[in-house]
Amino acid sequence: MTLPRPIERFFQEIGRFVEMVGRVFAWTPRPPYDWRELLRQMVKVGVDSVPVVLLTAMFTGMVMALQTFTVLRRFNAESYVGSLVALSMVRELSAVLSGLIVAGRAGSAMGAELGTMRVTEQIDALEVMATDPVHYLVVPRVWAATIMLPLLVVLANAIGIFGGYLVSVVLMGANPVSYMDNTFQFMDLNDLISGLIKAGVFGFLIAAIGCMQGFYTTGGAEGVGRSTTKAVVVASIAILISDFFLTRLLF
């Protein structure tokens, strides 16, 4: 029995992903450790994404405040705007939005870079010179993304809450002191941690998927384009789906 093509391809992708993840874990503990490359990737994935992540988080916080203010006023519950904005950002929005942005910025770059290396035989050249391409190329990228995404989310949380504060206090005339009080009133450490765990998982997924797409590129320049697109699309879907299960898992 042969499966229909799309289903076959779906399972092939899953298989490749699992194999890639397995190889990443197998190679991670083995020397030589390329700290410089890890650092370089951390800058590329994390530091370079700071402005756009901040911008997104700022406006998300602002919109959240606007929306919740309008809706909660109907129940005379405006005093909970701060809590709502903060909890939404910390538990959910910072991680997902930063993830989607990093998928678009860094995941696509990984797909394109490794894809180009594949079609120009640079990956073959690595293997020939006794260098495992997963060890050399994928391991630093995956861990850089896994480390940097939670750090981006910390920034996004702060700036998102600040954006909400700005709108509520300046635009909606909320009392600054009670708004700030309210913001942290219902939050505990677990909310923050669950957001950070999510971010770490998303970072891992983005890099592993981006690298995998690049790694299996075929067909020249067109193939590189295809891999780049797939790196973003598949990673974004993976973020949204895994987000549901992570939320369920982390309470």
Instruction: Provide the binding-site residues for another protein, judged by CB under 8 A.
Output: 16, 19-20, 22-23, 26, 117-125, 127-132, 134, 215-219
Residue 165 identity:
Y
Exposed / middle / buried, residue 243 (Cβ in 10 Å: 0-12, 13-18, 19+) = middle
Return the number of the residue (31 or 51) whose C-beta is nearest another protein.
Answer: 31
Return the number of the residue (92 or 132) whose C-beta is nearest another protein.
Answer: 132
In the complex, minimum distance from the CB of residue 105 to another protein, in angstroms, rounded to a whole number: 18
Return the number of the residue (102 or 134) whose C-beta is nearest another protein.
Answer: 134
Give which of 87, 58, 42, 32 is closest to 159, Cα–Cα: 58
Return the number of the residue (83 or 116) whose C-beta is nearest another protein.
Answer: 116
In the complex, minimum distance from the CB of residue 83 to another protein, in angstroms, rounded to a whole number: 47
In the complex, minimum distance from the CB of residue 59 to another protein, in angstroms, rounded to a whole number: 35
Question: Is 157:89 a contact under the CB 8 Å cutoff?
Answer: yes
DSSP string, 92-154: IIHHHHHHHHHIIIIIHHHHHHHHHHHHTTHHHHHHHTT--HIIIIIHHHHHHHHHHHHHHHH
Residue 10 identity:
F
